[in-house]
Structure 1
């Protein structure tokens, strides 16, 4: 067992990097397209709806294959790591966009009416009234999406990236010790998920401080 750990931990580090960058980029996509779906601009709204429906309605694995294998035929060449980050972030961003949309729409209408009465512009209302109240509501679903994204990183092994799943499969092929290797892999994924959940809980706690302060 101890002989397998160094190789698996090298793969785990690649998994951590993938999770970090794709979750960060996915969060950016979530806000851009989630707010875009609420936009009064019909073109921006149409682009946002199309993105959300396409990436939520198709397989992440096929999206990853298309980005890695099909884009080079159009002249766009991406490394396995970059292709993995792009596919994962676009996929999680589509689900996160619906979280953003739902959280913003959950802000009570009286808050928006008060902002209008104070002569706030639509942008001021969004950034100063709606988003500060919606952000704490987004955090629990975002935490779930981040953990799901961590588990989805295993798919990058199919585009030759040496992540945790890829290295586990290579070890199994060399040693035929499936039980030990895959048990270790499960425990490593579980440990990473626990750490990620704890970090997201910490972010959720910090984001929600304004609500607790207002309740005093």
Structure 2
């Protein structure tokens, strides 16, 4: 089999996969912080809304969510492009699990520091953004890293709504060549390589965040 003829197709699929993954992580992280903070600081009503969001997207199948957004929503007049649908569903998935990571990290901040903030007449907004969040972000980085890797792997599901990602491209080449072993082996290697690049990026971000936290603590000491 002449692999050179199919490399552009695999490369284009890998680019689509990484684009969807990175966009989903960024949007999902924003949702995670928003709903995670609401769980802690939103009061009874907003906290309940955030809880409903997290439980719905954590408690239902990602594949069913994908099909519902892609096939059911157009029936009520709301439709998106396939790539947009894939990004929204994966981002909602990241947001649901990430919100619990944010909530747990915020609760990990010691009560002594919160009491000290109140003693200094910090309001809730100041306490959250000057005391709790800077420390919580450091604690949540490993869990967010795992979630990012999981999102990359789950992104293969978008091939089921006709998005030409890496999995879709591999399946198309396999149907043309009937060479399952070679094509899926190369696909595994591609996903592993992308996972390694994502892990390295996460480690760099984590090191930067931890360094910033150390400098911040030194400045306050």
- For 1:43 and 1:151, how far apart are their aligned partners in 2? 35
Superposed, which structure 2 residues align to 1:109-148 within 5 Å? 109-148=111-150
- For 1:108 and 1:27, how far apart are their aligned partners in 2? 24
Q: CA RMSD in A?
A: 1.2
Question: 1:20 is matched with which residue?
Answer: 22
Question: Out of 185, 190, 194, which is 1:188 matched to?
Answer: 190
Measured against aligned partners, the alpha-carbon deviations of 1:42-90 in whole angstroms (never above 9, x if no partner) come to 2211110000001000010000100011010011110000000000000
In structure 1, runs of 5+ residues without a counterpart are none
SS in 1 for 2:41: coil
Question: Out of 76, 94, 97, which is 2:96 matched to?
Answer: 94
Instruction: Give the drift of 1:11.
Output: 0.3
In structure 2, runs of 5+ residues without a counterpart are none
Q: Does 1:46 align with 2:51?
A: no
Question: 2:87 is matched with which residue?
Answer: 85
SS in 2 for 1:161: coil
SS in 1 for 2:5: coil
> TM (normalized to structure 1)?
0.97
Question: 1:173 is matched with which residue?
Answer: 175
> TM (normalized to structure 2)?
0.95
Question: 2:68 is matched with which residue?
Answer: 66
Contact map agreement 1:34 1:96 (CA 8 A) in 2: yes
Contact map agreement 1:4 1:181 (CA 8 A) in 2: no
- For 1:186 and 1:45, how far apart are their aligned partners in 2? 41
Instruction: Give the drift of 1:145.
Output: 0.5
SS in 2 for 1:7: helix
